[in-house]
Amino acid sequence: MDKVRIVIDRIESGIAICEQADNYEWHKFEISQLPEGAEEGDEMIYDGTQLILDKAATSERRKRIQGMLDQLFKR
């Protein structure tokens, strides 16, 4: 499996529901598989065996989304 970027959409009942960034496929991981400190909205790299937290990509993604919200609501 190639490395893919996924985002934690939500965590419920001990399962992280994640969306693959490039094709909108959904993946489920037990929270014990998540990197330490991972939370909803975080972007990670998945290589088929492990998840690697990408805080820089998460930060950029949040800034981009906040910019869209600011534009939408004219803040």
pLDDT digits (tens, 9 = 90+) for 21-57: 888 899 999 999 999 999 999 999 999 899 999 999 9
pTM across the whole model: 0.84
- Give the model's pLDDT for residue 31: 95
Please enumerate in sequence order all residues whose Cβ is within 8 A of that of 8, keeping only pairs 6 or more positions apart, or say none.
16, 17, 18, 34, 38, 39, 40, 41, 42, 44
- Give the model's pLDDT for residue 42: 96
| Residue 67 C-alpha from the chain's centroid | 18
The answer to whether residues 38 and 30 touch, using CB atoms and an 8 Å cutoff, is no
| Domains, the chain, ordered by start | 4-72 (2.40.50)
